[in-house]
């Protein structure tokens, strides 16, 4: 029963995004027969280190969506404190609902069923604009962000160039 409700909700969100596209990204199904796997393309936010980049990601929804969050993994190369080396995005709204076992996040910052594909991707775009190096997914990127901004910028520039070459 939960999977069919999730499918209906995801179909609605897809229709809404098709009718009312949002600046900065596009999203659609990886395979027309699977509502639980979406392809997302994010344009690097203007006036950030990621400006000019075109970054691809896969958003995978659980069968009990929206009660549990999707996972988002960049398939484009990404250098960012809040993106694991394997491309998985680590932001509060993608963490399971409820209290944080580590005590870092408030329950209100974590996943809530009110989030949509749009709000998730806009949060990722915001993350690109403002890295959080206090609880990094990529410790090396966070360390470089704090200690050697110029080296960090060079590494991000390489990611941006690679993303442009993939077009």
Q: Let me know if 18 is a catalytic residue.
A: no
> Catalytic pick from 6, 27, 90, 93?
90
Sheet holding 34-43, edge to edge: 25-31, 34-43, 54-60, 71-74
Q: What is the residue-wise DSSP string for the chain?
A: -HHHHHHHHHHHHHHHHHHS--TTEEEEEEETTEEEEEEEEEEPPTTSTTTT-EEEEEEE--TTTTSS--EEEESS----TTB-TTSBB--GGGSPSS--TTS-S-GGGS--TT--HHHHHHHHHHHHHS---SS-SSHHHHHHHHH-HHHHHHHHHHHHHHHHHT-
> Is the N-terminal amide bond of 143 cis, ω within 30° of 0?
no
Active site residues: 90
């Amino acid at each position: 029963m939960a999977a069919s409700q999730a499918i209906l909700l995801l179909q609605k969100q897809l229709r809404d995004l098709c009718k009312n596209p949002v600046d900065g990204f596009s999203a659609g199904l990886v395979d027309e027969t699977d509502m639980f796997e979406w392809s997302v393309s994010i344009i690097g936010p203007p006036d950030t280190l990621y400006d000019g980049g075109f970054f691809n990601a896969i958003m995978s929804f659980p069968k009990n969506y929206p009660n549990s969050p999707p996972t988002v993994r960049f398939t484009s190369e990404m250098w960012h404190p809040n993106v694991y080396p394997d491309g998985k995005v680590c932001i509060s709204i993608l963490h399971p609902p409820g209290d944080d076992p580590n005590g870092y996040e408030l329950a209100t910052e974590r996943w809530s069923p009110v989030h949509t594909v749009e709000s998730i991707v806009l949060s990722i775009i915001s993350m690109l604009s403002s890295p959080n190096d206090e609880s990094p997914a990529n410790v090396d990127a966070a360390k470089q962000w704090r200690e050697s901004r110029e080296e960090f910028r060079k590494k991000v520039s390489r990611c941006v160039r690679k993303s442009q070459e993939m077009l």
